[in-house]
């Protein structure tokens, strides 16, 4: 199992990269958020947490810059009917923190934005992940604050993608919601 790769990016596309590791190019499927992050911070060697999906006719690598994103991805693909591409699509819709908060509040709106996931499948995902995310939530008490910041920015007219990007740029030591919103608006 290939669980981590470190190397330099040879090629970057909309949904994948080619990572050169000691002369071998690995095609790694990534989220749009990761693509955007790489465009702004592309410098030398980069470490990816990876998941190798073994199929009858292919071996596909899915890569993430953060271990938490990989863990959530792997939780998603344990659900019957959710494959790696659908799980990656779910992670393209919102951050892991936002998705965890949505699952804990039984909000299906983020999940139904993904192609191929209707209301029933979204409810199934929430039902199956509700107990699994309890540990993640207890590790990060600021998840609700982050969701509040994203919702406030969306109310001000910013897109979900811009709001998530701005939230990630904020210093992690800031925990007050109003301060986070001010810093996010400065970023935007």
Q: What is the pLDDT of residues 49-88, one digit of tens each?
A: 999 999 899 899 999 998 888 988 998 898 888 899 989 9
177: Cα separation from own chain's centroid:
21
> Around 186, how many Cα atoms within 13 Å sit in the side-chain half-sphere?
10
CB 143 within 8 A of CB 174: no
How many angstroms separate the CA atoms of 121 and 13, rounded? 30
DSSP class of residue 44 equals S
pLDDT one-digit tens code per residue, 4-59: 999 999 888 888 999 999 999 999 999 988 888 887 766 688 999 999 999 899 89
| Coil/strand/helix, residue 179 | helix
pLDDT given for residue 138 in this prediction: 46
Indicate if the pLDDT at residue 164 is higher than 80.
Answer: no
pLDDT in tens, 85-121: 989 988 988 888 778 877 877 888 878 888 778 888 8
59-64/24-29 β-pairing = parallel
- Residue 142 scores a pLDDT above 70: no
Residue 63 contacts residue 49 (beta carbons within 8 Å): yes
**CB-based contact 10:28 (threshold 8 Å):** no
pLDDT band at 143 (very low <50, low <70, confident <90, very high): low
Q: Which of 69, 128, 1, 34 is nearest to 9 (CA)?
A: 34
State pTM to two decimals.
0.71
**Residue-wise DSSP of 57-115:** S-EEEEEESSHHHHHHHHHHTTSTT--HHHHHHHHHHS-HHHHHHHHHTT--TTGGGST
Q: What is the pLDDT of residue 92?
A: 87
Whether 170 shows a pLDDT value over 70: the answer reads: yes
pLDDT for the residue 118: 85
């Amino acid at each position: 199992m290939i669980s981590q790769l470190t190397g330099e990016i040879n090629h970057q596309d909309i949904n994948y990269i080619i990572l050169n590791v000691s002369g071998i190019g690995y095609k790694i499927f990534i989220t749009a958020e990761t693509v955007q992050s790489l465009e702004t911070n592309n410098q030398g060697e980069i470490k990816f947490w990876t998941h190798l999906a073994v199929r009858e006719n292919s071996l596909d690598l899915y890569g993430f810059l953060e271990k938490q994103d990989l863990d959530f991805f792997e939780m998603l693909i344990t659900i019957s009917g959710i494959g790696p591409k659908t799980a990656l699509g779910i992670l393209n819709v919102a951050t892991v923190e936002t998705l965890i908060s949505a699952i804990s509040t039984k909000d299906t709106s983020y999940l139904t934005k993904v192609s191929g996931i209707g209301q029933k499948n979204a409810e199934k995902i929430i039902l199956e992940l509700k107990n699994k995310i309890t540990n993640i939530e207890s590790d990060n008490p600021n998840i609700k604050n982050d969701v509040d910041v994203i919702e406030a920015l969306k109310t001000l007219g910013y897109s979900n993608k811009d709001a998530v990007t701005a939230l990630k740029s904020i210093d992690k030591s800031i925990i007050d919601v109003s301060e986070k919103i001010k810093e996010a608006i400065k970023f935007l």
